[in-house]
Structure formats: C-alpha cells, structure tokens
Amino acid sequence: MPRLSSLALILVLSNLVSAQIPEEVEVTRVATGMRFPAGIVWSRDGFLAIADTAKREIYRLDPDQRPKPTRQDTNGAQGLAYDAQSRLYICEANARKVVRLDKKGAMETVAAAFEGKKLNSPGEITVRHDGQVYFTDPAFAGAIDTRELSFNGIFHVSPKGEIEAVARWQTRPNGIALSADGKKLFVSDADRHAVVQFDLDSKGAATNPRDFIKGVEGVPAGLRLDVTGRLYVSAQGLAIYTPDGKLMRTLMDSQRVINCAFGGPEFDFLFVATPKEIYKIKIGAKGAIQY
C-alpha cells in the first residue's frame, strides 16, 4: 500500500475528527430483564457479551435474539474485555481477582494480589493490542469493610504477568479505556466526577496523569473512545466529549448509564447498558478497538 503524503494524512485525520454524530440518533432497546449489567464487550465472533453482576451470569446477546446465559456463578463478574487472541478477561469483584478465559473454556488467574495483599474488588478492564492489561480496583459498598490495600488502585499487568500500580488513589477509579493508537489511557474517578488521562509508552508504562474532564454529571463509570478520539462517558446519560475534553452532547440523559461498548459488523454501533436494559445506537463513528 502506498504511503500517504503528510498533507494527505492531515486531510484524512481532519476528516475523521470532523465526522459528525447524527443530529437524530436512533436508540433501540435490544435486551431487557437485566438486574445490573455492569460489564459489556463485543466479541469478534459477532455477539455482545454481558456480565450481569446481580444475577451472577454472563450472557451472549446475538443480533435479533434474546440474551442467552453462557456462564454461571461468576463471582460477581463486572468488567469484561477481549484480547487479540479472543480470550475473555473477567473482573470477578466478589472473588477479588481478574481471570482470563480462552476459547476452549480454560481459565487462569491474571491478578489476585498486590504486594502480598488481596485486591479490593476489580471493576473495569481493558487490554491493549500487544497484551498489556489495565484494570481498576475500587472498594465500593461492602468491599470497603474487607479491603487489605490502603488505596484504590489502577493496575497494569504485562504480557509476562508482572503487576504494577499505575496509580494509588484514595478516591475510587471506575471505568477504563484506551485510545485507538494505544498511547493514552483514560480512567473515570467516581468520587471526583472526573476522567483522568495517562500517557502510555511502548512497554505499557503509564505516566503524566492529568484531568481530562471535570464536572461529569452523575457518577462516571464505563468509558469508550472512537477512532476520532471522542470519549463516551457512562454517567447520568451517555456524555460525549471532543478529543480535547469539551462536552459535545449527552444522549439518554434521563437514564443512569453504567457502561457502553462499541460493536456490530463495522464496530459503528454503541451498545449502552442501564441497570435493567441494553440499548443500541448507530453513532456515526467506529470504535477504538484494540483487538
């Protein structure tokens, strides 16, 4: 493939960034009867995986079908993510660990402790294309009473299984997401109603934390980015921010949104989870998919 000239590349990037979300978006309910679908992620096999924490089930939602349970007794599964090998990562909040499930059903533990102490309650997770894993470990509700760590962590696990703390917060990190190029990491701060941005290097190390967004309405939870760099924040509604952190608009603003995930054949649908239902929105941009 011929390489683009600098001018051509600038024009392509400019067109991507200026791509507009349709003024009128169609919001379609695709699943109901949930109890708390805290984790959602699109599989390359063409379905949405849903972790219902309250039901202790992981579901498979195929197009035009009802959710089908695929895994029970999930130890309070919350955040879900796939890697480039189609392995499913699961934050098991009740078991206080992160596990990985391969396509044959074999499971292994990715992280369960740090500095000799149990994790708090892993919440959300994302995996970079090169196998670098990042997850949040807040202590919400009952987890506060059993915590061993003195902080709420944002953790990085290397492909070799080495774990390090990206950040040690007294406030609670919640959602987590990567930019399309894998060079930026975004984490929502549930207590400060903010989103923090980190820089990532080629080895996965995170540096230079700074507030990307302040004053999020509602409790910011799940995050996603599209290929243009826009950030989608699950909170009171689904808030959409420009690549420089300005609020563009809020969809479904009358509802509490707990998570979101890009999916569909072209990765241009955004699936949105509320405490009881899952919705689908044709958003007008492709998601930043690492796998």
SS (H, E, C) 59-97: EEECCCCCCEEEEECCCCEEEEEECCCCCEEEEECCCCE
Please tell me the total number of residues recorded for the chain in this structure. 291
Per the prediction, the chain carries an average pLDDT of 92
Cα–Cα dist 37/96, whole Å? 18
**Mean pLDDT of the 233-250 span:** 97
**Mean pLDDT of the 156-168 span:** 98
pLDDT at 6 over 80: no
pLDDT at 223 over 60: yes
Check residues 10 and 150 and name the one with the higher pLDDT: 150
pLDDT attached to residue 10: 36
- At 97-126, the pLDDT tens digits run 999 999 888 999 999 999 999 999 999 999
pLDDT attached to residue 74: 83
Strands 113-114 and 97-101 turn out to be unpaired
pLDDT attached to residue 20: 72
Q: How confident is the model at residue 19 (pLDDT cuts 50, 70, 90)?
A: low
Check residues 36 and 7 and name the one with the higher pLDDT: 36
Q: How confident is the model at residue 233 (pLDDT cuts 50, 70, 90)?
A: very high
pLDDT at 71 over 80: yes
Buried-exposed string 188-198: b where 16+ CB fall within 10 A, e elsewhere: bbbebbbbbbb
**Mean pLDDT of the 204-225 span:** 98
SS3 at position 222: coil
**Mean pLDDT of the 197-218 span:** 98
Q: How confident is the model at residue 193 (pLDDT cuts 50, 70, 90)?
A: very high
pLDDT at 5 over 50: no
Cα torsion through 134, 136, 137, 138, rounded to 10: 170
Q: How confident is the model at residue 16 (pLDDT cuts 50, 70, 90)?
A: very low
The pTM is what?
0.92
Cα–Cα dist 94/280, whole Å? 29
Domains of the chain, first to last: 32-220 (2.120.10.30)
pLDDT at 72 over 90: no
pLDDT at 276 over 80: yes
